[in-house]
């Protein structure tokens, strides 16, 4: 496995223009324009209003890069885009690779045929999001509530809802390469999925690890799974893959349990999975940092109707915390240190749970790592908020299904993840007469 980052300095130009400005990736258009002093600070007074044109025009990110003979000689070379916001068309050396329409998905495309040894060029065109949703709204109105969303129609596009404005934040409709982008080259096979389940018993925990591989060549594969605690190996096993998959059971004796803030410590174990072939050696390597714990939501009938109480390791606890909205409107300005500080502050305030609001985004890995380390449980909304959605559209449903699968796979190993919640306040529209059979049926809501 060989990886080449395409993060760093790109060039950004407005659609129809010839001049460009530097743009750092990961990033977005607003951040690049602000750094180049092309716009005023949108957080000062009402300067937000002077930036509304940005979401009404297209933008192109471009850069050159060098590809080595070693990378291009791999059996498969993929372009991996971990965040494209949102309506993107990708070209490599002038040849179209793909188009995307979801800010929250990770995309991978085979670009071996488009690349060449030496100098290469990549361009990513972003269509105007405001124009896109306005066109959709003219065809069929999908109501929103809980705003004011300054620009209507954002529910037609898989994009951070509050980017269109909310009652607490600015309307800064942007676009850009907002998460990492890279080239990945590999031979024979690579790891496609690692899924870790836990079974708890007296003084021991059994880890059940499912390993899946993406195979190019029909050769024998095996996987070695190692579990470590404080850099000391506590369990390991090697198994052969059958039909591109394997299951491994490992017993952890004297397990150190993970607890929410205020109930105990947050010991973390490292699970490392190596994909191996007798001829090629190590083909791929993935690791997960986990906490050993059980977590249950008790909803038994009681004298008031139904209980709603979390229990960790069999101990009920009172969930106390706050609603987490995006900590920045210009997302690339957030650093891992910012997430660490905000989560540590939450723990210092005696919180033990944060609810990631469905009008924002599936947060950066740094946020969930900080929650793991500080005992902050996470109530994670899927990103649907205060609106009806085009669940009558099969392509839309397929898009959000892939989005959900992407993010559940990315986050499910974190001990801090306590609950997945379907949305934020969609059913409120029934009460407010915003939601009618014409805009979204109850059957369509069930599909969503």
Task: Write the secondary structure of 301-326 as one string of H (helix), E (strand) and C (coil).
Answer: EECCEECCEEEECCEEECCCEEEECC
- Other Cβ atoms less than 10 A from the Cβ of 34: the count is 18
User: At residue 47, what are phi and psi to the nearest 5 degrees?
Assistant: -65, -20
pLDDT value for 44: 96
DSSP label at residue 425: S
Band the pLDDT of 443: cuts 50, 70, 90. confident
Run of H or E including 272? strand 269-277
Q: How far apart are CA 32 and CA 118, in angstroms?
A: 28
Residue 285 has pLDDT above 90, yes or no: yes
pLDDT value for 433: 63
For residues 227-233, give the mean pLDDT.
98
Looking up tokens 């609810």, which residue turns up?
355
DSSP label at residue 332: G
The two structure tokens encoding residue 79: 């372009």
For residues 60-84, give the mean pLDDT.
98
pLDDT value for 263: 98
pLDDT in tens, 75-123: 999 999 999 999 999 999 999 999 999 999 999 999 999 999 999 999 9
Tell me, yes or no, if 425 is annotated catalytic. Answer: yes
pLDDT value for 402: 98
For residues 324-338, give the mean pLDDT.
96
Share of the chain above pLDDT 70, in %: 97
The two structure tokens encoding residue 369: 């790592």
Band the pLDDT of 444: cuts 50, 70, 90. confident
Residue 302 backbone zone (phi > 0: left; psi -120 to 50: alpha; other: beta): beta
Read off the pTM. Answer: 0.96
DSSP label at residue 407: H
For residues 217-221, give the mean pLDDT.
92
For residues 354-367, give the mean pLDDT.
98
Give CB contacts under 8 A, 24+ apart, made by 220-223. Answer: 220/277, 220/278, 221/188, 221/189, 221/275, 221/276, 221/277, 221/283, 222/246, 222/275, 222/276, 222/277, 223/248, 223/273, 223/274, 223/275, 223/276
Q: How far apart are CA 76 and CA 90, in angstroms?
A: 18
Band the pLDDT of 280: cuts 50, 70, 90. confident
Q: Tell me how many degrees the CA angle 211-213-219 measures, rounded to the nearest 5.
A: 120
pLDDT value for 429: 77
Domains annotated on the chain, with CATH = 2-184 (2.60.120.260), 188-290 (2.60.40.10), 295-447 (3.20.20.80)
For residues 165-171, give the mean pLDDT.
91
- Assess contact for 297 and 284: CB atoms under 8 A: no
For residues 245-265, give the mean pLDDT.
98
pLDDT value for 149: 57
DSSP label at residue 278: T
For residues 226-239, give the mean pLDDT.
98
- The set of residues, in sequence order, having a beta carbon less than 8 Å from that of 184 and lying 6+ positions away, is 1, 2, 3, 77, 78, 80, 108
Residue 147 has pLDDT above 70, yes or no: no
- Other Cβ atoms less than 10 A from the Cβ of 222: the count is 15
Residue 430 has pLDDT above 80, yes or no: no
Band the pLDDT of 440: cuts 50, 70, 90. confident
Alpha helix positions (H), 122-204: 129-139
Alpha-carbon separation of residue 416 from 329, 343, 354 (angstroms): 25, 12, 10
Residue 38 has pLDDT above 70, yes or no: yes
Mean pLDDT of the chain: 95
Nearest alpha carbon to residue 82 among 26, 23, 30, 125: 26
pLDDT value for 148: 53
Write down the catalytic residue from 101, 344, 425, 434.
Answer: 425
Sign of CA dihedral 159, 165, 166, 170: positive
pLDDT in tens, 295-317: 999 999 999 999 999 999 999 99
Nearest alpha carbon to residue 104 among 323, 405, 325, 424: 405
Residue 126 backbone zone (phi > 0: left; psi -120 to 50: alpha; other: beta): beta
Alpha-carbon separation of residue 426 from 7, 145, 171, 381, 441 (angstroms): 37, 9, 21, 12, 12
pLDDT value for 53: 97
């Amino acid at each position: 496995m060989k990886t080449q980052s395409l993060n760093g300095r790109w060039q950004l130009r407005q659609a129809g223009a010839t001049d460009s400005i530097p743009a750092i990736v990961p990033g977005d258009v607003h951040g690049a324009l602000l750094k180049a002093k092309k716009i005023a600070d949108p957080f000062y007074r009402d300067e937000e209003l002077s930036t509304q044109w940005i979401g009404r025009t297209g933008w192109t990110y471009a850069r050159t890069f060098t590809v080595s003979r070693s990378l291009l000689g791999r059996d498969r070379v993929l372009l991996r885009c971990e965040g494209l916001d949102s309506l993107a068309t990708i070209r490599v050396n002038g040849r179209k690779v793909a188009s995307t329409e979801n800010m929250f998905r990770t995309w991978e495309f085979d670009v071996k045929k488009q690349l060449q040894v030496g100098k290469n060029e990549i361009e990513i065109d972003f269509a105007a999001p405001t124009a896109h949703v306005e066109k959709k709204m003219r065809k069929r109105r999908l109501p929103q509530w809980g705003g004011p969303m300054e620009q209507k129609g954002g529910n037609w596009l898989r994009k951070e809802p509050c980017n269109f404005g909310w009652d607490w934040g600015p309307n800064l409709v942007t676009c850009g390469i907002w998460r990492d982008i890279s080239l990945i080259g590999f031979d024979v096979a690579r790891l496609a999925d690692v899924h870790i389940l836990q079974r708890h018993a007296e003084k021991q925990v059994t880890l059940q690890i499912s390993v899946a591989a993406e195979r190019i060549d029909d050769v024998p594969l095996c996987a070695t799974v190692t579990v470590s605690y404080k850099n000391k190996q506590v369990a390991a096993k090697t198994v052969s893959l059958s039909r591109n998959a394997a299951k491994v059971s490992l017993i952890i004796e004297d397990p150190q349990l993970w607890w929410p803030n205020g109930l105990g410590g947050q010991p973390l174990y490292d699970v490392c999975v190596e994909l191996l072939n007798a001829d090629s050696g190590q083909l791929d390597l993935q690791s997960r940092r986990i906490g050993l714990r059980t977590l249950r939501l008790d909803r038994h009938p009681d004298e008031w109707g139904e209980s709603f109480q979390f229990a960790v390791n069999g101990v009920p606890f009172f969930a106390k915390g706050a609603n987490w909205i995006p900590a920045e409107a210009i997302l690339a300005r957030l650093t891992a240190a910012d997430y660490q500080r905000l989560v540590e502050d939450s723990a210092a305030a005696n919180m033990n749970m944060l609810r990631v609001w469905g009008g924002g985004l599936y947060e950066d890995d740094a946020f969930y790592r900080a929650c793991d380390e500080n005992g902050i449980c996470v109530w994670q909304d899927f990103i649907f908020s205060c609106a009806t959605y085009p669940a009558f559209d099969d392509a839309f449903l397929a898009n959000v299904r892939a989005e959900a699968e992407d993010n559940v796979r990315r986050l499910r190993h974190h001990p801090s993840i306590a609950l997945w919640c379907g949305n934020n306040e969609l059913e409120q529209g029934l009460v407010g007469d915003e939601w009618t059979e014409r805009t979204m049926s109850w059957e369509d809501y069930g599909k969503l």
